[in-house]
């Protein structure tokens, strides 16, 4: 248990370093200094700088799921769930304005550098995009989005909104960025929405689905 607690504490410190300095800024020496441990003590838990970086990526993804994905799964199927995913994603970005998103900074650092760290980053981001795609497809099944829309196109555009938010809120320090991204979401999803979807976006009470007749 003590070893697990020590590893967890090291990972927490490593997340803070990576958020501010990037994954490439991580080193056994820097982490030893922050945690007030010996280099050999930190090394014993990870074995290499690369394994440390991969562990940080996985830990970041775990926290992302806990803050964004799992709470949104409690929302009603369809557009309410998709809205929940996006809104919590926006809140996550707002909480990272003074540090940074490891997904975004990692993509810049490792976009042209093949290897296990890049593979770990790609795997985590693809897992998140797959969850978004599934939420979009469920919204189509529930009749909230048009049946002829392309779920992958909407996922691409939603990701683009988050990148624009990160740029304007973190780099430009634009105080209106949060309101703009929420407005853009409503407009974008409204483009693909059905009358039932527009009702949800407007916050109007939802009309109950007609009951299916029992087959004799």
Mean pLDDT of 160-185: 95
Lowest mean pLDDT among 65-69, 92-96, 204-208: 204-208
- pLDDT exceeds cutoff 50 at 214: no
One-character DSSP codes across 11-73: HHHHHHHHHHH-GGG--HHHHHHHHT--HHHHHHHHSSHHHHHHHHHHHHHHHHIIIIIHHHT
pLDDT at 72: 96
Domains of the chain: which residue ranges? 50-202
**Which segments of 65-194 does DSSP mark as H helices, in order?**
70-72, 79-95, 102-110, 116-141, 151-166, 177-192
Of 3.90.960.10, 3.40.640.10, 3.30.420.40, 1.10.357.10, the CATH number of 50-202 is: 1.10.357.10
Residue with token string 């003074």: 98
Q: Give the number of other Cβ atoms within 10 Å of residue 216's Cβ.
A: 3
The confidence band for 7, taking pLDDT boundaries of 50, 70 and 90, is: confident
The confidence band for 45, taking pLDDT boundaries of 50, 70 and 90, is: confident
The confidence band for 198, taking pLDDT boundaries of 50, 70 and 90, is: very high
pLDDT at 4: 84
3-state secondary structure at position 53 = helix
Helix axes 151-166, 116-141, angle to 10 degrees: 120
Query: What's the whole-number average pLDDT of the chain?
Result: 90
CB 194 within 8 A of CB 146: yes
pLDDT at 209: 52
Mean pLDDT of 19-31: 87
Q: How many CA atoms does the CB half-sphere of 137 hold within 13 Å? A: 7
The confidence band for 1, taking pLDDT boundaries of 50, 70 and 90, is: low
- Could you read off the pLDDT of 71-112 as tens digits, one per residue? 999 999 999 999 999 999 999 999 888 888 899 999 999 999
3-state secondary structure at position 193 = strand
Between these two residues, 38 and 194, which has the higher pLDDT value? 194
As a whole number of angstroms, the distance between CA 87 and CA 75 comes to: 12
Question: What does the angle CA 68 – CA 71 – CA 72 come to, to the nearest 5 degrees?
Answer: 75
As a whole number of angstroms, the distance between CA 15 and CA 59 comes to: 8
Phi, psi of 215 (to 5 degrees): -80, 140
Mean pLDDT of 170-192: 95
pLDDT at 207: 52
Q: How many CA atoms does the CB half-sphere of 104 hold within 13 Å? A: 20
- pLDDT exceeds cutoff 90 at 161: yes
Predicted structure pTM score: 0.87
């Amino acid at each position: 248990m003590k070893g697990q607690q020590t590893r967890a504490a090291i990972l927490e410190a490593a997340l803070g370093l990576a958020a501010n300095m990037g994954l490439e800024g991580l080193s056994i020496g820097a982490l030893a200094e922050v945690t007030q441990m010996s280099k050999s003590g930190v090394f014993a838990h990870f074995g290499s700088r690369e394994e440390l970086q991969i562990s940080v990526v996985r830990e970041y993804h775990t926290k992302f799921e806990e803050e964004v994905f799992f709470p949104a799964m409690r929302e009603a199927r369809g557009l309410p769930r998709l809205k929940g995913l996006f809104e919590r994603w926006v809140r996550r970005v707002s909480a990272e304005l003074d540090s940074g998103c490891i997904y975004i900074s990692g993509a810049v650092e490792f976009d042209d550098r093949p290897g296990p760290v890049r593979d770990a980053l790609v795997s985590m981001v693809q897992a998140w995009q797959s969850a978004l795609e599934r939420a979009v497809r469920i919204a189509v099944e529930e009749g909230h989005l048009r049946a002829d829309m392309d779920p992958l196109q909407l996922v691409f555009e939603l990701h683009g909104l988050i990148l624009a938010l990160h740029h304007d809120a973190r780099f430009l320090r634009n105080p209106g960025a949060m309101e703009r991204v929420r407005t853009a979401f409503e407009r974008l999803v409204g483009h693909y929405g059905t009358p039932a979807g527009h009702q949800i976006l407007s916050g109007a009470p939802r009309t109950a689905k007609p009951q299916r007749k029992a087959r004799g």
